[in-house]
Every structure is written in C-alpha cells, then in structure tokens.
Amino acid sequence: MNAPRNVVVTGMGLVTPAGRGVVDAWNGVLAGKAAATVDEELAAAGTPVTIACRVPAFDPDAEIGRGAKRRLDRFTHLGVMAAADAVADAGLGDPDADEPERIVATDPDLVGILLGSGIGGAETWADEYPRFIDKGPGRASPMFVPKMLSNTAAGTVAIRTGARGPNMTVNTACAAGASAIHLARDLIRSGSADVVLAGGVEAGITALSISAFAQMGALSRNPDPAAASRPFDVDRDGFVMGEGAGVLVLESEEHARRRGARLLATIAGAGASADAFHATAPPDDGGGAVLAIQRALDDAGIDPTSIGHLNAHGTSTPLNDAAEARAMRAVFGDHTDAIAVTSTKGVTGHLLGAAGAVEAAFAIQALREGLIPPTANLTTQDPEIALDVVAGEPRRVELEAVLSTSMGFGGQNSALVITRA
Amino acid sequence: MSQDLFATFKTILVDTFGVPADDIAPEATFEALGLDSLDVVELTLVLEEETGVKLEDEELEDVRTVQDAIDKITEKQQAAA
C-alpha cells in the first residue's frame, strides 16, 4: 500500500470581522482590539443583546455581481469572497482573466470544495418567513430554497471556480470549519482530489438567532462591545456572535511541488470526537475534546511536546473555556505550561461554522511568523483556567507545531495539528 | 395599457431584481437583464400581484423579452374582459 499523501496548505482567504484578507485579518488579531460593535439592525429590532462582530463593509455588487448578490444569502457572499481570495493566494486562477477565480493552474475535475456551515442561509429565513405570512403561500419565493440551503456556498464556489471534484458541506456547528479541513485532508490523502478548497462560512447575525442564542444564555450581556468577548477572563459571561468565512487551499504535497506552489504549512493531524453528553454544554472534564486532541496528535505522529501553541476554541463562555483548559491539561500534563494559548475570538467574536477555518488560518500565521496574538480583554485570568494564555501584546515564540481546537453545539469536537511545510 | 404594463415591468425589474433602469427596453431579453430561470418564476409571481394575470409555465416557453411578456399578459387580460 502506498503511504498516505502528505497534505499542505498553499493558499488562504479570510473575510473576518478583524479584517478582509489574510494580512488585514492577521494584523487585526495581533492588535488585540475587539471588532464588536453595537449592531444597528439588532438595536432597532430590540433584541436582548445588540452586540455583534460584522465583517467590514464590502460592495457585493462589485465583488459578487448584482444578479448573484440577490440570488445568494449573505453567508454565500462571504464564502465566495474568501474562496476567490484563496484561489488567488494559491495561484490557481488567472488574475488577468475576466473570471479570475476560475481554476486554470490544474485539472479542475480534481479540485474539491468542502465547506462547513452551522446555520446556512439564516438571513433568507429571517427575511422570507414574514413575507410568506404576510402575502401567503402563493408568494413564496422560488429563490428561497437555493438561498437558504447550507450547501449553496460550496455549490456556488464550484460554479464560480469551475471545480468539479468532490463538493460537500459539513455541519458540526461551531466545529464545522475545522471538520471541513479534516475531511478535505482525507479526500486528498485517499486520492479523491489533488486540491480542495476547505473552510467555513457563516452569516447568522439576525434578530431571531441573536434573540434565541441570548435566551439560552450563550451570549455576553456586557453592554460594552469592546469588552464583551473576553475568553479565559474571570469576568467572561458568554460569546459575541460574529460572521465571516475562511477558506484554505489544501493540496497534496507532491501536486503542490509539481506546480511550484508556495507551501504555507502541513496539515499533519486531525481528530474528531463527540461528547455524547448534552445538547449545548461540554462535560466538566472536557472529555470529548480530550479524545479529539489525542486523536489529532496520534494521527500527526508527533511528540506532543512539540506543540508550542494552541489557538483555542475559547468562546468566552464560562463552561467552554474551563472545560477546554481541563482537556488541555488532561492531554498534555506538565507540557501544558509550555504551550502559549490564545483565543482570537476576543477580537473576532465567535464565527460559529466559520470559526475553525479562520482560526486554523491564524494558527498557520502564528506558526510561520513565530508570533502569537494576545487574547483581547484578558485582564484577570480565571484562576480555574490553568493555561499560559497570551495577553496584552503579541508574544514571539519559535514554533514547530501548533494546535487548533473547535467544539460545536451537539458535543462535536475537532482538533487540527499543523506543522511547518 | 401596454405603456402602463411597461412601466409596471420597469418598476418590478428595478425594485425587485435590481436591474439598472437604463437597461430596460421592450426588446430586452430577460437573459440579457441578468435574470435566470428561477428569477423568471419569481417575476411571474410579482406580475400576478401587480396585474392579476398569472403566466403559466407553458405560456413562458416562448416568452424571452419584456415585450413578449407584455403581449401575453395583454392577451390574457383581453380574453378575460
């Protein structure tokens, strides 16, 4: 049997509240300043929480096209933008062509698309249902179905890039972006694709979803947007909802080298697990997360002491952050103290189904630059959290291997081990 | 009547479909205006609301331009009168 193919990252596209594009988004998280604002739409609707992290304003007419903009939900807009950026970054398209995101550098039949989304077309549901009640069944829009389906982002990226390889959408809630990278890695290893655009997309900030997340006690009630998302801080009281998209170009190393692509990092290991415990809460001991992290380390076949950095799930909810810290201690023992931890959600908020992909990109940036972003708003670390969490300023650390963790409602966990290419 | 219908079309195409007003002419095809097959279905729903006339799927087969649709609606309005 042939050895499994090594899978590398050759491009990244980010559309996040901290900035558009890898450089802006990375500088945004390094600056450690929360991107949250009081959202006018939520405030006008009188929702119990009005703070959210939106992506910076963009012109969908110019970026996506007028017709496509109307036919697509916002989560697909963001996914299309991130995918186009990733294609450009990986040198898969022709920047001078009329359709620069069309894949020309390799056989598009062997390019897959694997995106994660927790919610799908939330805005479409929110807009269309009142219209349906008001105008009746005869006026249900035929656009409703393709707009709201959560696989539309992956399907639309295929239409625009011409990628005709395996095309799938994975939903493991807030782990979806990481799950997509995990499964994309496996598709390449197995030979089902040479290249996969893998990531996560989410645009779930609607009055309905914010109200419901607030009712379940998941969202911060802090009235100050700048201070609301504070992972691992003793005063954390919930997450701030964000939106965005992250797409990584995963590629077999052999294929990447053959076409002369720039290698950013290696997806060395991936692990998944379920808590089998509760609809939304993690077990106190972080049991499911422990399994996912151990599996990712085993899969990577590296010495756990080579992990120097964790981009934590770190949502800023009291339960998640504490369980994650216990899980890390359970896996790494004394080595936990040598792992520099950050949660970039202090800056970006929680991008739900996009979080795992965006944070994998930040983990890759940290690995490449030897620089760990501070956790925004960490002023007094919760004494229950026995982790070395970076706060205040970015920290310079030489890194060989990094870990990114994601945990979804439903008890679905994912961990990625990323090493130098 | 036809002038009124054209004005109705123009309003719908601009307001609902975001078509630039300058692009809209009687001879313009829906395809050229950037509408795909699902958009045309949606257009028939809005038109029914505005004119009371519903264009059925089989009637849409040879409707390609704004004028084609105006003619078909006018024909049905006269038949009903």
pLDDT at position B57 is 87
Chain A residue numbers with beta carbons less than 8 Å from the beta carbon of B39 are 67, 71, 143
How far is it, in rounded angstroms, from Cα A44 to Cα A62? 28
Inspect the interface and report whether the beta carbons of A66 and B36 lie closer than 8 Å. no
The band of A119, judged by pLDDT with boundaries at 50, 70 and 90, is: very high
pLDDT at position A379 is 98
Q: What is the residue type of A69?
A: K
**Lowest mean pLDDT across A58-62, A236-240, A381-385:** A58-62
Whether A106 and A92 have beta carbons less than 8 Å apart is answered as yes
Tens-place pLDDT, residues A270-291:
999 999 999 989 998 888 999 9
pLDDT at position A4 is 79
Inspect the interface and report whether the beta carbons of B38 and A143 lie closer than 8 Å. yes
Once rounded to an integer, what is the mean pLDDT over residues B5-27? 93
Which positions ≥6 away from B30 have C-beta within 8 Å? B39, B40, B43, B64, B65, B66
Inspect the interface and report whether the beta carbons of B18 and A66 lie closer than 8 Å. yes
Inspect the interface and report whether the beta carbons of A139 and B17 lie closer than 8 Å. no
| Best CA proximity match to A229, nearest among A385, A49, A40 | A49
Chain B: residue nearest A68 by CA? Answer: B34
Inspect the interface and report whether the beta carbons of B39 and A67 lie closer than 8 Å. yes
How far is it, in rounded angstroms, from Cα A175 to Cα A412? 7
Which positions ≥6 away from A354 have C-beta within 8 Å? A78, A116, A117, A176, A177, A199, A200, A201, A202, A243, A244, A245, A246
Q: Does B41 touch chain A (CB under 8 A)?
A: yes
How far is it, in rounded angstroms, from Cα A315 to Cα A240? 8
Once rounded to an integer, what is the mean pLDDT over residues A166-182? 98
Chain B residue numbers with beta carbons less than 8 Å from the beta carbon of A148 are none
How far is it, in rounded angstroms, from Cα A161 to Cα A87? 8
The band of B2, judged by pLDDT with boundaries at 50, 70 and 90, is: low
How far is it, in rounded angstroms, from Cα A142 to Cα A72? 12
A-B contacts (CB, under 8 Å): 30
Residue A384 C-alpha, separation from nearest chain B C-alpha, in angstroms = 54
Tens-place pLDDT, residues A87-107:
999 999 999 999 999 999 999
The vertex-A230 CA angle with A225 and A231, nearest 5°, equals 145
Q: What is the residue type of A243?
A: E
pLDDT at B1 over 70: no
Whether B74 and B51 have beta carbons less than 8 Å apart is answered as no
Once rounded to an integer, what is the mean pLDDT over residues A342-351? 98
The vertex-A348 CA angle with A342 and A350, nearest 5°, equals 90
Q: Model's pTM, two decimal places?
A: 0.95
- Collapsing DSSP to helix, strand or coil, A157 comes out as helix
Give ipTM to 2 decimals.
0.81
pLDDT at B15 over 70: yes
Percentage of chain A modeled with pLDDT above 90: 94
Inspect the interface and report whether the beta carbons of A66 and B49 lie closer than 8 Å. no
pLDDT at position A90 is 98
Looking at residue A370, the DSSP 8-state letter turns out to be T
Tens-place pLDDT, residues A186-216:
999 999 999 999 999 999 999 999 999 999 9
Task: Tell me the DSSP string of A213-230.
Answer: HHHTT-B---S-HHHH--
pLDDT at position A2 is 63
Partner-chain residue, chosen from A135, A139, A146, that has the shortest CB–CB distance to B38 = A146
**B4, B15, B36, B68: which one is catalytic?**
B36
Once rounded to an integer, what is the mean pLDDT over residues A248-259? 98
Q: Does B18 touch chain A (CB under 8 A)?
A: yes
pLDDT at position A66 is 83
Place of tokens 């062997």: A110
pLDDT at position A176 is 98
Task: Tell me the DSSP string of chain B.
Answer: -HHHHHHHHHHHHHHTT---GGG--TT-BTTTTT--HHHHHHHHHHHHHHHS----GGGGTT--BHHHHHHHHHHHHHHH-
pLDDT at position A67 is 83
pLDDT at position A68 is 87
How far is it, in rounded angstroms, from Cα A338 to Cα A335? 5
Residue of higher predicted confidence among A155 and A281: A155
How far is it, in rounded angstroms, from Cα A85 to Cα A66? 19
Whether A338 and A310 have beta carbons less than 8 Å apart is answered as no
Once rounded to an integer, what is the mean pLDDT over residues A15-38? 98
Tens-place pLDDT, residues A320-339:
999 999 999 999 999 999 99
**B24: how many CB neighbours lie within 10 A of its CB?**
18
pLDDT at position A285 is 87
Tens-place pLDDT, residues A377-397:
999 999 999 999 999 999 999
Partner-chain residue, chosen from B18, B34, B41, that has the shortest CB–CB distance to A142 = B41
Q: Classify the phi-psi angles of B32: left when phi > 0, otherwise alpha if psi is within -120 to 50, otherwise beta.
A: alpha
**Lowest mean pLDDT across A110-119, A137-146, A409-418:** A137-146
A372 phi/psi in degrees, rounded to 5: -110, 125
- Collapsing DSSP to helix, strand or coil, A121 comes out as coil
Q: Does B17 touch chain A (CB under 8 A)?
A: yes
pLDDT at A1 over 70: no
> What is the widest separation between alpha-carbon atoms in chain A?
64
Once rounded to an integer, what is the mean pLDDT over residues A47-76? 93
pLDDT at A80 over 90: yes
pLDDT at position A74 is 97
